[in-house]
Amino acid sequence: MTAFVALDGVSHAYAGVNSALAVDGLSISVESGEFAAVVGPSGCGKSTLMKLATGLQFPRAGTVTVAGEKVTAPVKIAGMAFQAPTLLPWRTTIENLLLPLEIVQPYRGEMRRRRAEFTDRAERLLASVGLEGQGSKYPWELSGGMQQRTSLCRALIHEPQLLMLDEPFGALDAFTREELWCVIRDLQAARKITVVLVTHDLREAVFLADRVFVMSSRPGRVVVEKRIELPRPRDLEITFTQAFQDIVHELRSHIVKARQ
C-alpha cells in the first residue's frame, strides 16, 4: 500500500515573530482507504496537522504529500468537519449540503443543469445518516447531533477521497457520540475513503481507527504509532471487551507520558 497522505519531517509555526513551533519533526503516513486517528494532549498541534494535510497551511520545513503530489495549494479533494457544525443558518439542510457542489469542479459548472439530481443525491446521503426527510429544515431547527450529521454529509457530498475530521463529536452527549461513531464507521466502510480523525477521545480512536498516532505535547510530533488489530466490522459491544480496554489503557499511558 502506498501512502495517500504523508507528512515528512514537518515543522510549522504560525505567523508572528516569536511564535513557538506548533509541530516539529512531525512525520505521519496514512495509507489509501485507511482510517487513521490522531490523539494527544491538548495544544499538541493536532489541528495544525489537519491544516497542513489539506493545504490550508504550508510547513516551514519538511514536505507534505497528498495523493502522490506535493501540497502547494488547498488540496480540493478533501472534505472537512469540525467540532462546531458550521452550517449556514440562512440555508436549509439540503442547501447546506449542496454548498460544496457549488464550489468544486466539475459539479460547479453542472449545478444549474443537474440541480435535481444533486438534490436527490443529498437526500439519499441524509437518509443514510438517519436524517430522512429533514432536508427542508433550517440548521437551527435541528438538534446538535442532527446538525453534526449534516456537517458530516456536507463533508462527503462531493465524494472526496480524503475526509478530515477535527474532533467532530466533541460537543455531543455520550449516546449521540456513539451513534455517530457507527454512522462514520459505516460511511467509511461503504466508500473506502481515507479518513484522518483528530480526537481527544481514546475510545473513539480505538473503536474507529485502523491505526492510532499519539502525538507529544507542543511542539507536536508522533511518539507512538499503534495498529488496532480488532476485527471489522466492529460493533459498539467491542468497546466493553478486555482487548479493547487494554489498547485504550496502553494509549492512555503514552499520553500521560507525552504530557510530562
Partner 1 sequence: MNRVETLIKLSPWLFTIGLFVVWEAAVHIFQIPVFFLPPPSAIAQAFVDYSGPIARNSWITLQTTLIGFGLAVGFGLLLGLLVGWSRAIYAGLYPLMIGFNAIPKVALVPILVLWFGIGFVPAVLTAFLISFFPIVVNVATGLATIEPELEDVLKALGASKLDIMRKVGIPRTLPYFFGSLKVAITLAFVGSVISESVASNYGIGNLMLQAQAQFQVPLIFAGLIVLAVEGIAMYAVMAMLERRMTRWAQRSGFAQA
Closer by beta carbon to partner 1, 152 or else 212: 152
Closer by beta carbon to partner 1, 79 or else 228: 79
Closer by beta carbon to partner 1, 197 or else 248: 197
Exposure class string for 191-209: b at 16+ Cβ within 10 A, else e: eebbbbbbbebbbbbbbbb
Closer by beta carbon to partner 1, 52 or else 224: 52
Query: How many CA within 13 A on the CB side of residue 151?
Result: 26
Closer by beta carbon to partner 1, 29 or else 54: 54
Query: The C-alpha cell of 188 is what?
Result: 467509511
CB of 104 vs partner 1, minimal distance in Å: 5
For residues 248, 249, 254 and 255, what is the CA-based torsion angle, rounded to 10 degrees? 70
CB of 232 vs partner 1, minimal distance in Å: 28
CB of 127 vs partner 1, minimal distance in Å: 23
Q: Cβ(35)–Cβ(54) under 8 Å?
A: no
Which residues contribute to the site for partner 1 (CB under 8 A)? 51, 54-56, 73-76, 78-82, 84, 86, 88-90, 99-100, 102-105, 138, 140, 154-155, 158, 164
CB of 5 vs partner 1, minimal distance in Å: 13
Alpha helices (runs of H) in the chain, residue ranges in sequence order:
46-53, 93-98, 107-110, 115-128, 144-156, 174-191, 202-208, 242-259
